Chains A and B, each alone.
Chain A
């Protein structure tokens, strides 16, 4: 029986270890789940297997014979295929379904000259029918639904005599019925001797279809076990690692009246979200990547337009057609994508810090540069931004210091609601504790705080109350006392 083995795989990104000697194997005719929290190293490991990255150390072998995978072509030649999560990056929208399915053949074909369209269509139709799919092969891919696109990718992967197929979060865009269909296809592939690596955040389906489970944490494979020999609770505790210790003491603040209230807010991915935040209260909103946290934050900030629902501030309804309306009303957001949305990398620390408060010291439209630079220097000191000078370009600062600047621009506005979207992402530990302390101080000043994050441990440490999101819905509210990482992970993975 054929076996694919990865041994002692090591990978670093600019000195930061992403994978530390990972062991992983998948056998022919098995469905092997690869699980782990965000950032555990699953994607990196799979990118090494598909040739998108090169490992810094370790070996990959098939049936005991060592193989080298330097490029995606190498991986494909060895029969390793991947059905990516972002289907659109792997498909050509303005080509037909048939062309997309047979894309690899068309690209690598030695035949010169004209395409044989009738045989192209016939062949792709045969492949689709083999799976019981009915997608018109002449249709353009851009007209296909998300699940159809995924089926096309699966068809493309298998047409190549794939021996190993990686499914990366395949059910994320699918309905329950479509998921069932996918599971049938996986079973079918399995019965023909294909080895399947299955990556998913949804534990119930993992337990339904997988034979074995490997769990990764902090760049290592911590355990590989038969599915039958484990339980969901055990899997979750392996994913989270050692039990939670409170690194960052929480500031206790008396909680006041309700400031912000959202009723049945819906739009984009978000489905009917109800929430409220009170004075001095830190509300954590958790969920896995793709649960809709960022989308919810953007709706509450007016950065995206909601389809329905209402937002009330101190009982009064606020209309938001743009972030300006939110800022004027006293709601601010520190966005997730810091470099793209939070800061101006080509501008100085000074210009970044004053962008939201400029009006207050610009009589007749002229900026009082003295007041401006004084405010900036005060903020730099207050936030502990490590910069030589306020004239320094923000792009030259470290991630943590950039984040402090992104937060700092709001501090002197008299906003009442502060929203933070993954504020500690890509931030070193020192800056992290500075940011927690800052958020604690805002709570002391009776600000209401919404803290969106997929770092469960952090949220337990900082929040008074926790809302868990799953697939665009707030599925559970937990008090600080009852919240555990296990419980949060359970609800965040679709547990009822």
Chain B
């Protein structure tokens, strides 16, 4: 049984992330009066909204004991595809939504097929998919970002433009709250409820907790693992569309940096309030931590190429804490 003795590590483990966020925010607000304004806070939330989408996808793959490295490429893919639907092909709501979503579902299914059916280790299978999907999005866009009035390869100008309602998703406001922030809150709430209160959510956790025990308990584990990979790709795909809406361009390779941020957020989330396993709420807190750090560093005028150092350090720290805790638990 656990002792009642106060352990510094346990305290840090449970509340460390939240404490770091608070401390960092205090530090930044001391050095910059603008930091703690409503505008800047909503700015941070808006900037992390897309990463949160992707990170929740990663969380799903982690919950079933897997991993999905291909999420960044999926973001890039749906960004350019949704943009091209409007700009190149003058499509309306249906195609602009359905086609990118269908593509991301397809990516998820292929991932699941490789990992669950062919039994390639998850890291390797999704690494391959990372490159395949990235290559597809580059080939499709011919390496050019997609924006209104862009010159086409045949010398003409692109016929369409970004639709108002699409841009509203990324840039609009409801009651002075940015729409992407609202969408993020919605997604966090829905996935949290799904994972905590539904049978499927429970089964996902059981599958990841002990695959063989889950199988021998009559859980159709392969179905749940497939579901997790499909949801992972779907949320990444939605994130990509949101990204296109926010910047009003189908930026090529825009998802490349998302993988790292999303993975870091999900692993930071392990420890939030002592959950000890991947969870949506923790992931959201992790995304906030990264958003705050990036925002603060921007204000401090740090060169952008130094950001990766900070992000990598955050990930390493989160992993260190998670695995250290795991080892302690095993010993107990």
Which residues of A line the B interface, CB within 8 A? 301, 303, 322-324, 326-328, 332-333, 335, 340-347, 351, 355-356, 358-359, 362, 365-367, 369, 388, 395-396, 409
Are A340 and B212 in contact, CB atoms less than 8 angstroms apart? yes
Asked if B202 and A335 sit within 8 Å, CB to CB, the answer is: no
User: Which among B209, B220, B332 has the greatest number of chain A C-beta atoms within 10 A?
Assistant: B209
Contact A333 B199 (CB under 8 A): no
Partner of A333, one of B205, B214, B216, B219: B216
**Which residue from A322, A346, A356 sits with its C-beta under 8 Å from B215?**
A322
A324 touching B219, Cβ below 8 Å = yes
Interfacial residues of chain B within 182-209, with CB under 8 A of chain A in the complex: 197-200, 202-203, 205-206, 209
Contact indicator B1/A358 (Cβ below 8 Å): no
- Asked if B161 lies at the interface with its beta carbon under 8 angstroms from chain A, I say no
B215 to chain A: which residues have CB within 8 Å? 303, 322-323
Whether B246 is near chain A, meaning CB under 8 Å from some CB there, is no
Q: List 28 A-B contacts (CB under 8 A).
A: A301-B216, A322-B220, A323-B216, A323-B217, A326-B218, A340-B210, A340-B213, A341-B210, A341-B213, A342-B213, A342-B216, A344-B206, A344-B209, A344-B210, A345-B209, A346-B210, A347-B206, A347-B209, A351-B202, A355-B217, A358-B199, A365-B199, A365-B200, A366-B197, A367-B197, A396-B1, A396-B332, A409-B217
Cβ–Cβ < 8 Å partners of B277 in chain A: 346
Residue numbers in A under 8 Å from B214 (CB-CB): 344, 355
A301 to B215, CA, bound (A): 11
B217's partner among A345, A356, A359, A396 (CB-CB below 8 A) is A356
Chain B nearest Cβ from A45, distance in angstroms? 29
* Selected contact of A327 from candidates B200, B205, B210, B218, CB within 8 Å: B218
Contacts of A342 in B (CB 8 A): 213, 216
Whether the pair B209, A335 counts as a contact (CB closer than 8 A) is no
Within 8 A of A (CB), among B149-205: 197-200, 202-203, 205
Known A-B contacts A344-B209, A367-B197; A328 and B216 likewise in contact (beta carbons under 8 Å): no
Interface centre among A344, A388, A396, A409 (most CB of B within 10 A): A344
Give the interface centre of B210, B212, B217, B277 by most chain A CB atoms within 10 Å.
B217
Min CB gap A2→B, angstroms: 44
Contact of B218 among A328, A343, A366, A396 (CB under 8 A): A328
Nearest A residue to B326 by beta-carbon distance? A346
Question: What's the minimum C-beta distance from B198 to chain A, rounded to whole angstroms?
Answer: 5
The complex places the Cα of A344 from the Cα of B329 at a distance, in Å, of 14
A356: chain B residues within 8 A (beta carbon): 217-218
Q: Which 8 residue pairs of A and B lie closest in terms of their CB atoms, listed nearest first?
A: A327-B218, A362-B199, A344-B209, A365-B198, A324-B218, A344-B210, A355-B217, A358-B199
Q: 1/0 per position for B258-273, CB-CB distance to A under 8 A?
A: 0000000000000000
Instruction: Return B86 CB to nearest CB of chain A, in Å.
Output: 36
8 other A-B residue contacts (CB within 8 Å) besides A346-B277, A355-B202, A388-B1: A322-B220, A323-B218, A324-B218, A327-B218, A344-B213, A351-B202, A358-B202, A362-B198
Contacts of B205 in A (CB 8 A): 347, 351
CA distance A356 to B215 in the complex (A): 11
Residues of B within 8 A of A328 (CB): 218
**In whole angstroms, how far apart are the Cα atoms of A267 and B204 in the complex?**
31
In angstroms, Cα B197 to Cα A359, docked, is 13
CA distance A139 to B176 in the complex (A): 74
Closest-CB distance, A244 to chain B (whole angstroms): 32
- Cβ–Cβ contact A355 & B219, under 8 A: yes
Closest to A397 in B: B1
Q: How far is the CA of A343 from the CA of B210 in the complex (A)?
A: 8
Q: How far is the CA of A328 from the CA of B1 in the complex (A)?
A: 36
Tell me which residues across on chain A come within 8 A of B218, comparing CB atoms: 323-324, 326-328, 332, 356
Chain B residue at minimal CB-CB distance from A301 = B216
* B213 contact set on A, CB distance < 8 A: 340-344
Instruction: Tell me if A367 and B216 are in contact (CB < 8 A).
Output: no
**Complex formed: what's the CA distance from A303 to B218 in Å?**
10
What is the bound-complex CA distance between A57 and B219, given in angstroms? 49
Min CB distance B240 to A, Å, is 28
Complex CA–CA separation, A388 to B277 (angstroms): 23
Q: Mark B309-332, 1 if CB is under 8 A from A, else 0.
A: 000000000000000000001001
| Smallest CB separation, A356 vs chain B (Å) | 6
Most chain A CB inside 10 Å of its own CB: which residue of B210, B219, B332: B210
Task: Give A393's nearest chain B residue, CB to CB.
Answer: B329
Given contacts A358-B199, A367-B202, contact A345 B216 (CB under 8 A): no
**B2 neighbours in A (Cβ, 8 Å):** 396
Residues of B within 8 A of A409 (CB): 217
Our pick among A303, A388, A395 for the contact of B216 (Cβ within 8 Å) is: A303
